[in-house]
Structure 1
């Protein structure tokens, strides 16, 4: 079985949108609705929603690669970067700072052309202080660059990227393609999802870095959508991808066997649409949170406010495992009796609902 880069048709991708044209149309419609909704929001709510979206993308793109970062560290890094903390928070985890800085740079520079320096800078942001790989440069090793799973002796090679000696020329061709397909470019691709899907697959196939290709490849996809739309996009592709990681890897694996990529673009269009719908849900979630504090603020004690803020800080995905009396005690330093009473009051107000039973009662935020 040959890989796509070994075929004479590389990198001249062909496709038909017949089987997923409806997803492209729905994506365009949902994107317009989200943009209009954002414009109607007060500045503080719009900023809060934006922060949650950047946080989600940073956390989820890392989780896809097996890195689980502290939400607090990543959010602090995002706020530090944007100058939202009067006194910058100290963030010891360089990975959290790096991915946050990458997300902000992708968003702020969406309209800029793509260059080698752009990609090398993103790589440096991701791996600042890492002494185990070559940072900010293309891979040079003669060893095969393989995507492998399985234990020792049971390895399965899912994909082998083109050899390192071809990376320089292939990346020059990729960057030319990217810039020529942008709005008003010589080979403009007008649909943002089509262009982003090709860009992501093209980059991942070259796999130009020793590490970090997945995260940078997904950043390229976000830049592509934003650049094609002409505004920073409000969605998290990585959140949608991470919800079914195996499907993502399988779609990539299949796509890297041929340069006819209709099936890959069908998958990517569904992911982009899912991400846009989830963005709308996140905006609704932010509005519901504000509604809760507006409606019930006077009825809440300080302990309840603190716990609700903690639960809401985990976004639409919710507080992991739900809230329990034990967690409530840990957060508020109160007694078990008080914790149980406070939680029952929140349930009575219709803010929280229970799941589980017996001694395993958990609480989650009720959708209003």
Structure 2
């Protein structure tokens, strides 16, 4: 059974806090049940939702070949993790700005865009997690700390990266104390053992992958093991599990961005998993069943939107080839048309490295691509000449807007959070 640990909050009387914040209180910290060894029973409807979500992910990975190696989609998924995080939900970075910041970083420019830097850290953390942990023998607590360390690299709280918290944290209420918090995670002394149990659960294969990812994410958010960055790290864990289980070998749908759009349902779903009483009780069963159903539905919606984006990318590439006329197979132009969806902002040198051709060959291809409207010249960093594929960036922006709308269209259903402006 879960525990409610009663603890006393003793304020720092010399810290200059308001009088109300210097009074202290008795608060309750929630310690969840362990996951390993438990039996989870899904209702017939939820089991069907999970099966639908897994078929959708398999279809996306089988059919969406245009997305399989797309760095652009990877950036979308990672930006989704950043936006959905409770701590940085207010960070707004449009697709074009983020792509240019990433290219500038690759060129060695000192990053001046702090907001973009934090989002780019999400990209690095997710890439490392998926590439390193997919083939690892097991997910460990050290691996979770490794994701978190990359997430906070170069930020104002870098010193906390990869470090399990050594103090109490809380969600909601006052910034000064947990006395009025909406939720208080376990005391820091319990974090390590709970994470060990969570990792053991993630390494098991008894549950369907979508149900396992849903439960692992909820448990991670309940433990809240870090000072900051828990939302982003917990969402990275979703991607790792779906990839490790073989369900999503190429593309993981942007499920966390959909959950951020359904923000109140998302919060309510996580809260419902923090039941009181026996794990076999009605409250526990209903809470876990409802959360898994919501997660599965969000996954299916995310797949639908990702497939729509893949179709739009294919249309853009078709329009490019029609505008260019005959393109010689395997030429620099041909290769760039295939690779631009993964790198919509390029320099001549980055393009040469991307397609395995000489700088001269790329230089010769650029005028034709610019004339046909495939690329537009711009500047990245301090003085670096670059080129951007605005059709792709606009498609990326439209997808962000679509994912922010509860009904899938900001024309008919207002977005639930701030989104980039509609492309002209």
**TM-score in same-fold range (> 0.5):** yes
Matched, 1:68 2:86: no
Alpha-carbon distance in structure 2 between the residues aligned to 1:193 and 1:222? 10
2:345 paired residue number = none
2:238 paired residue number = 221
1:257 paired residue number = 275
After TM superposition, give the deviation of residue 6 of structure 1 in Å. Answer: 4.8
Alpha-carbon distance in structure 1 between the residues aligned to 2:81 and 2:33? 31
Of residues 76, 79, 83 in structure 2, which corresponds to 1:59?
A: 79
Whether the aligned pair in 2 keeps the contact of 1:158 and 1:253 (CA below 8 Å) is no
Alpha-carbon distance in structure 2 between the residues aligned to 1:198 and 1:31? 18
**1:168-198 per-position Cα deviation (integer Å, ceiling 9, x unaligned):** 221122222222x1xxxxxx22411011011
Alpha-carbon distance in structure 1 between the residues aligned to 2:245 and 2:4? 29
Alpha-carbon distance in structure 2 between the residues aligned to 1:160 and 1:151? 13
TM-score by length of 2: 0.62
Whether the aligned pair in 1 keeps the contact of 2:68 and 2:250 (CA below 8 Å) is no
Matched, 1:123 2:143: no
1:289 paired residue number = 316
**1:127-180 per-position Cα deviation (integer Å, ceiling 9, x unaligned):** 113344622110001x3x211058999x9632210111111221122222222x
Residues 363 and 217 (structure 1), Cα distance of their counterparts in 2 relative to 1, 3 Å cut? closer
Say which SS state the counterpart of residue 44 (structure 2) adopts: coil
Whether the aligned pair in 1 keeps the contact of 2:83 and 2:257 (CA below 8 Å) is no
Of residues 366, 385, 395 in structure 2, which corresponds to 1:315?
A: 395
Of residues 177, 180, 196 in structure 2, which corresponds to 1:172?
A: 196
- Number of paired residues? 307
TM-score by length of 1: 0.71
Of residues 262, 266, 272 in structure 1, which corresponds to 2:293?
A: 266
Say which SS state the counterpart of residue 227 (structure 2) adopts: coil
**1:99-128 per-position Cα deviation (integer Å, ceiling 9, x unaligned):** 121121122122322122211121111111
1:338 paired residue number = none
Residue segments in structure 2 that go unaligned for 5+ positions in a row: 6-28, 326-368, 377-387, 402-410, 413-420
Alpha-carbon distance in structure 1 between the residues aligned to 2:244 and 2:123? 20
2:121 paired residue number = 98
Matched, 1:28 2:108: no
After TM superposition, give the deviation of residue 209 of structure 1 in Å. Answer: 0.5
Alpha-carbon distance in structure 2 between the residues aligned to 1:96 and 1:237? 17
2:210 paired residue number = 193
After TM superposition, give the deviation of residue 301 of structure 1 in Å. Answer: 8.1
Matched, 1:209 2:289: no
After TM superposition, give the deviation of residue 72 of structure 1 in Å. Answer: 4.3
After TM superposition, give the deviation of residue 18 of structure 1 in Å. Answer: 1.4
Matches within 5 A, 1:134-153: 134-141=160-167, 143=168, 145-148=169-172
**1:263-313 per-position Cα deviation (integer Å, ceiling 9, x unaligned):** 111111111111222221221121111122223457x98495557932531
Alpha-carbon distance in structure 2 between the residues aligned to 1:319 and 1:236? 11
Say which SS state the counterpart of residue 245 (structure 2) adopts: helix
Alpha-carbon distance in structure 2 between the residues aligned to 1:8 and 1:306? 53
Residues 306 and 8 (structure 1), Cα distance of their counterparts in 2 relative to 1, 3 Å cut? closer
2:8 paired residue number = none
